[in-house]
Amino acid sequence: MLRCVPTRLPRPALLVAAALAFGTVACAPDEEPAGAPALVVLVTVDQLRGDLLERYEPVFTGGLRRLLDEGFVFTQASHNHSSTSTAIGHTTLATGRYPVNHGIVGNSWNERVTPDSIRGVYAVEDSTSAILDYPTSPGRSPVNIRANALADWLLAESPESRTLSVSTKDRGAITTSGQSPDHSVYWLMPSDGRYVTSSFYRSEYPDWVQRFNRERVPELIADSVWEHPVPEAQRSLARADDAPYEADGRATTFPHLRSDEVLTDAVSAQLNWWRATPFADRATLAFATTAMAELELGTRGVTDYMSVAFSATDYVGHKYGPLSQEQLANLYALDQTLAEFFAALDAQVGAGNWVLALSADHGVLTTPEYLPEIGEPGFRAGAAEQQALDSVIRTTATEALAAGSDTLAVRRAIAEAVEALPFVADVMVPEDDLLGGEPADSFVALFARSYTPGRLQGIAEWDLPMRAAEGVLFSSFPAGTSHGSAYWYDRWVPVAFMGRGVDPGTSGESAHTVDVAPTLAALAGITAPTDLDGRILDVREIR
């Protein structure tokens, strides 16, 4: 049975609590473990679309199996905003806020420098925070993020706590840590495979990081043959292995050999192949568990925080698609990797002493050439469509300006003209559609939660967010797939919790990625800000 009280509870909070800011009541089980968990863990699997756990479930015997059996899984969870890319999704998961409030609107975006010029901005760029040992590489930090995150809330309340964030990608590690320079944040340097950080966080590397890069990295990046590990009888869960719309159209079947598929000895090219295999997540696991031990996370009588963002699923998905044999093989391997990770948590922190959330930063469009084969709309908009789009924008702008229209009128004319293209569904003028309160149109509402004035999106030079038609992929590449739209296939992701205070179960109720941080905070007894966009999810089975 559940008991409910209309109050916001102090730390340690009840394991299932609803903040007064959301106008609900707090509910908690009659019996609950004493005290807060020793470690709070956020796991992000880059590009893990919401249907893939169910589709490939028969092959899972490890960590994903444990999550499905022991965790509480929201099967209809999603991002509740339009822009779906890595930096946005990770930031949303960690902050409990929509892009309109945390400010990260893409992996990159444009900002206006002068009335006639714009410049590109990378989500975690910071020229004042050099990567240690790489003085000529672009600097990195969370300076562009406009909201604090779960790890920040913890340090504000418990300065003796420690935090760690690890990923293959800089935009995966930095965005899930928060704004504080006191976080330990590391990512893989794509030029040579070392794990690095920036001067925003440290002035020099700890000895253990130097030792890991010297002793472990060479063996971790040496793997050069990717075999298919899934038994033949289960491979029908994915589509056929040989598909011309995968990879380079040539190396599309198992086994994948680096020696055959990489035609240069450049280390960066070798690593580019390697990170689109499960080997990359194995390296992330090795570094994360080493860091966890070195920092003594979850063993010092306070609550610590750890974020691990696994990136191989994204690289594999872009290259081969979510329904490919490669993605099946990759998720089979991720299942084993997560089993080792959960076992490491049990060994160091103690079973029942940690709590974890697993989600994804975005989903993905099924490879557009395959979609018609299964009766769904799919189209790759390439150079011809991009040229047509550019022509309509240029012609309409020229004619409107010649007629004496002001800037807003020109933008409205462009929006109307572009919407007439068959591969475009909608073009929004922010002043008309996105800045006047909650829109009635559900797609426009999603865009309103992503739009940040000054950070240009869509048709960037005119600041006109654009929605392509469903199933359309704008891509200059003839193969592979991507994400970024407001459609369900790009927004649908798993949201699951496991560990201290969580009952096994599933829910088909609506849940969103902004709910992850406040729910983890409640489970850990961390006081969350009252202005979050997310709510606290009930992860206890009602008996």
Whether residue 222 is predicted with pLDDT greater than 90 in this model: the reply is yes
Structural domain total, the chain: 2
Whether residue 307 is predicted with pLDDT greater than 60 in this model: the reply is yes
Mean pLDDT, range 424-441, rounded to an integer: 93
With respect to residue 218, please indicate whether it lies within any of the assigned structural domains.
yes
Q: For residue 517, how far is the Cα from the chain centroid? A: 14
Q: Which residue's structure tokens are 């892009």?
A: 99
Question: pLDDT grade, residue 388 (50/70/90)?
Answer: very high
Whether residue 387 is predicted with pLDDT greater than 50 in this model: the reply is yes
**Distance in Å from the first CA to the final CA of the chain:** 6
Cα torsion through 26, 32, 34, 38, rounded to 10: -80
Question: pLDDT grade, residue 229 (50/70/90)?
Answer: very high
With respect to residue 18, please indicate whether it lies within any of the assigned structural domains.
no
Question: pLDDT grade, residue 34 (50/70/90)?
Answer: low
Whether residue 437 is predicted with pLDDT greater than 50 in this model: the reply is yes
DSSP code of residue 366: -
How many CB atoms sit inside 10 A of residue 76's CB?
Answer: 14
With respect to residue 482, please indicate whether it lies within any of the assigned structural domains.
no
Domain check: are 415 and 331 in the same one? Answer: no
DSSP 471-508: TEEE-SSSS-----SSSHHHHB--EEEEETT--SEEE-
What digits encode the pLDDT tens for the residues 474-489? Answer: 999 999 999 999 999 9
Domain check: are 401 and 348 in the same one? Answer: no
Local structure of 414: helix, strand or coil:
helix
Domain check: are 76 and 92 in the same one? Answer: yes
Alpha-carbon gap, residue 398 to 361, rounded angstroms: 39
Whether residue 10 is predicted with pLDDT greater than 50 in this model: the reply is no
For residue 185, what are the CA distances in angstroms to 103, 163, 174, 436? 20, 8, 6, 38
Q: What pLDDT sits at residue 438?
A: 81
With respect to residue 101, please indicate whether it lies within any of the assigned structural domains.
yes
With respect to residue 394, please indicate whether it lies within any of the assigned structural domains.
yes
Domain check: are 244 and 95 in the same one? Answer: yes
Alpha-carbon gap, residue 421 to 467, rounded angstroms: 12
Model-level pTM? 0.93
Token code pair at residue 192: 């040579």
Q: For residue 376, how far is the Cα from the chain centroid? A: 26
Beta-strand runs (E) in 220-349: 225-226, 256-257, 304-310
Which residues, other chains included, contact 289 with Cβ-Cβ below 8 Å and sequence gap of 6+?
A: 340, 341, 344
Q: Which residue's structure tokens are 């709910």?
A: 515
Domain check: are 255 and 401 in the same one? Answer: no
Whether residue 16 is predicted with pLDDT greater than 70 in this model: the reply is no
Mean pLDDT, range 226-245, rounded to an integer: 97
DSSP code of residue 230: S
Alpha-carbon gap, residue 86 to 266, rounded angstroms: 26
CATH number reported for the structural domain that contains residue 376 in this entry: 3.30.1360
In the chain, pLDDT over 90 holds for what percent of residues? 91
Q: What pLDDT sits at residue 487?
A: 98
Q: What pLDDT sits at residue 540?
A: 82
Domain check: are 356 and 376 in the same one? Answer: no
Whether residue 26 is predicted with pLDDT greater than 90 in this model: the reply is no
CB burial of 182-193 (b: ≥16 within 10 Å; e: otherwise) equals ebbbbbbbbeeb
DSSP 237-248: GS--S--TTSTT
Q: Which of 370, 418, 427, 425 is nearest to 397 (CA)?
A: 418
The secondary structure of 74-141, three-state, reads ECCEECCCCCCCHHHHHHHHHHCCCHHHHCCCCCEEEEEEECCEEEEEECCECCCCCECCECCCCCEC
Whether residue 11 is predicted with pLDDT greater than 60 in this model: the reply is no
Domain check: are 240 and 224 in the same one? Answer: yes
pLDDT, averaged across the chain: 93
Helices 150-157 and 516-524 cross at an angle (nearest 10°) of: 30
Q: What pLDDT sits at residue 116?
A: 86
Contact between 171 and 202 under an 8 Å Cβ cutoff? The reply is no
Alpha-carbon gap, residue 438 to 80, rounded angstroms: 13
Question: pLDDT grade, residue 446 (50/70/90)?
Answer: very high
Length of the chain (residues): 543
Alpha-carbon gap, residue 507 to 384, rounded angstroms: 44
Domain check: are 444 and 469 in the same one? Answer: yes
What digits encode the pLDDT tens for the residues 151-166? Answer: 999 999 999 999 999 9
CATH number reported for the structural domain that contains residue 315 in this entry: 3.40.720.10
Contact between 73 and 67 under an 8 Å Cβ cutoff? The reply is yes
Whether residue 13 is predicted with pLDDT greater than 60 in this model: the reply is no
Local structure of 189: helix, strand or coil:
coil
Domain check: are 302 and 286 in the same one? Answer: yes
Q: Which residue's structure tokens are 């499960």?
A: 278
Q: What pLDDT sits at residue 23?
A: 32
Q: What pLDDT sits at residue 440?
A: 86
Token code pair at residue 112: 């206006």
What digits encode the pLDDT tens for the residues 244-300? Answer: 999 998 899 999 999 999 999 999 999 999 999 999 999 999 999 999 999 999 999
How many helices (H) and strands (E) the chain has is answered by 19, 21
Whether residue 201 is predicted with pLDDT greater than 60 in this model: the reply is yes
What digits encode the pLDDT tens for the residues 325-378? Answer: 999 999 999 999 999 999 999 999 999 999 999 999 999 999 999 999 999 999
Domain check: are 239 and 297 in the same one? Answer: yes
Domain check: are 358 and 446 in the same one? Answer: no
Alpha-carbon gap, residue 50 to 489, rounded angstroms: 8
Q: What pLDDT sits at residue 220?
A: 97
Token code pair at residue 165: 């964030």
What digits encode the pLDDT tens for the residues 48-66? Answer: 999 999 999 999 999 999 9
In the chain, pLDDT over 70 holds for what percent of residues? 93
Token code pair at residue 380: 């790759």
With respect to residue 82, please indicate whether it lies within any of the assigned structural domains.
yes
Q: What pLDDT sits at residue 260?
A: 95
Q: What pLDDT sits at residue 541?
A: 59
Host domain of residue 398: 371-474
With respect to residue 95, please indicate whether it lies within any of the assigned structural domains.
yes
Domain check: are 301 and 425 in the same one? Answer: no
The residue type at 340: E
With respect to residue 532, please indicate whether it lies within any of the assigned structural domains.
no
